[in-house]
Amino acid sequence: MFSIRYVRENAQKIKEGIRKKKVEIDIDLLLQKDERRRKLITEIDNLRHEQKDAGRIIGEKKQQGEDAEELINQMQEIKRRLKASEEELKKLEGEINETLKWIPNPPHPSVPVEESVIKEWGEVKEFPFEPKDHLTLCNAHGILDFPAGARIAGSNFPLYRGKGAKLERALINFMLDLHIKKHGYTEIFPPFLANEKCMFGTGQLPKLKEDMYLIEQDGLYLNPTAEVPLTNMYRESVIDEKDLPIKFTAYTACFRREAGSYGKETKGLMRVHQFNKVELVKFSHPENSYNELESLLQDAEEVLQLLGLPYRVVLLPYDDLSFASAKTYDIEVWAPGLGRWLEVSSVSNFEDFQARRANIRFRSGNRTEFVHTLNGSGVATPRTFIGIIENYQQEDGSIIIPEVLRKYTGFDRIP
């Protein structure tokens, strides 16, 4: 969240940002309120000054045993005026604050108007037969059981069975090991629930409230992405400058209500309420954050390269960016059975937007400054699972396991 002062001093940038992200917020009205707010502060400061002076005199008189009644009575009037002004100020600040919460992070200048595919990797191969979609294949092998999932939790809660469960677990372990051993991330296993402050800090709240599962009894939300716990590890803290960049990776289950999104997109593992994801999070010095974004993208891409899955990288246009992101790349895997590209990773630089909301700073000399936070999926499993099933299917319906996963699965094909 931007401070009102920042908005005042960067009004044009903020206005352009909300225009690009197609949000409707009246910044001019906000600035008018700010002006009134500052007048009130001056007024209140002056009254308090009077009050403090008088308090000092009363204290002295009382200590010397003198009568201070008259002055004390005069102070009653000051007190009344203070209270009135303070109430108006409080109301005004409440309104200002409420508006500030909804101001999105402006896109980085390099973010385009139109979506652009900046890279394609691997070969979209032609099958000598009609490729089947993953749901058909998985049902045939009994490795996915949606009806059982529905009995337990409802529709679109996947249940993996047998080799399907093993393949899922293998994917997670393979990705974690890659990021830990080769890319130098520190492994974290965080809580899967997080409080409201965390959700506000990373920007899920207030905008995405309806998309999250809330446990009302405890005021806790189910983790929608490991970005939340990982980034909030340093909420309200100060990091040593020499420790930057900090790189964390974690596996978590992710829970999303996906309110109102039932429809064509929900076939099989396409869009589910609970899924697994290995996440990458970085805390960066502001000067380096765009270099860190590029290397984060490479770290995520390498997962797909090693799995031998054809993918492309898309630079999102500015009206597709999330509330908190300044720049985002999506990585999309080719699914021959479904005949389309599937988003498996979203890699973003939030600059200091989340750091402001969560108050995450680093110490530089005798002052503190907000860090830049970044994250990327490294990667989400369901659509990667789809990619493997559909790309590695054979004419007889069996599925070859990619080489790099075999030491984790212990088998090289399904069935």
Residues that bind RNA (CB under 7 A): 3-5, 38, 41-42, 44-46, 48-49, 51-56, 58-59, 62, 72, 75-76, 79, 90, 195, 219, 237-238, 363, 365-368
Q: Which is nearer to RNA, 40 or 404 (CB)?
A: 40
Q: Which is nearer to RNA, 193 or 306 (CB)?
A: 193
Smallest separation, CB 220 to RNA (Å): 8
User: Residue 232 and residue 237: Cα distance in Å, rounded?
Assistant: 10
**Whether the bond into 317 is cis, omega within 30 of 0:** no
Q: Which is nearer to RNA, 20 or 197 (CB)?
A: 197
Smallest separation, CB 2 to RNA (Å): 11
Smallest separation, CB 58 to RNA (Å): 4
Q: Which is nearer to RNA, 110 or 217 (CB)?
A: 217
For residues 389 and 266, the answer to whether their CB atoms sit within 8 Å is no
* Phi, psi angle pair for 186, to nearest 5°: -90, 130
Q: Which is nearer to RNA, 22 or 56 (CB)?
A: 56
Smallest separation, CB 255 to RNA (Å): 19
**Residues 369, 104, 97, 31, CA torsion sign:** positive
Q: Which is nearer to RNA, 12 or 76 (CB)?
A: 76
User: Residue 371 and residue 21: Cα distance in Å, rounded?
Assistant: 23
Q: Which is nearer to RNA, 99 or 368 (CB)?
A: 368
Smallest separation, CB 193 to RNA (Å): 11
Smallest separation, CB 355 to RNA (Å): 14
Smallest separation, CB 82 to RNA (Å): 8
Q: Which is nearer to RNA, 39 or 119 (CB)?
A: 39
For residues 172 and 414, the answer to whether their CB atoms sit within 8 Å is no
SS3 278: strand
Structure tokens at 60: 């002295």
Q: Which is nearer to RNA, 150 or 238 (CB)?
A: 238
Tokens 């995520």 belong to which residue? 300
Smallest separation, CB 324 to RNA (Å): 22
For residues 191 and 172, the answer to whether their CB atoms sit within 8 Å is no
Q: Which is nearer to RNA, 33 or 406 (CB)?
A: 33
Q: Which is nearer to RNA, 283 or 311 (CB)?
A: 283
User: Residue 341 and residue 284: Cα distance in Å, rounded?
Assistant: 31
User: Residue 17 and residue 1: Cα distance in Å, rounded?
Assistant: 13
Q: How would you classify residue 125: left for phi > 0, otherwise alpha for psi between -120 and 50, otherwise beta? A: beta
Query: Burial of 409 by CB count in 10 Å (0-12 exposed, 13-18 middle, 19+ buried)?
Result: buried
Smallest separation, CB 37 to RNA (Å): 8
Smallest separation, CB 89 to RNA (Å): 10
| E-strand stretches of 87-165 | 116-121
Smallest separation, CB 102 to RNA (Å): 20
Q: What is the dihedral of CA 65, 67, 71, 77, to 10 degrees?
A: 110
**Residues 190, 246, 348, 336, CA torsion sign:** negative
For residues 290 and 307, the answer to whether their CB atoms sit within 8 Å is no
Residues sharing a CB contact under 8 Å with residue 373, sequence separation 6 or more, in sequence order? 231, 281, 282, 283, 284, 350, 352, 353, 354, 355, 360
Counting Cα atoms < 13 Å in the Cβ hemisphere of 189 gives 3
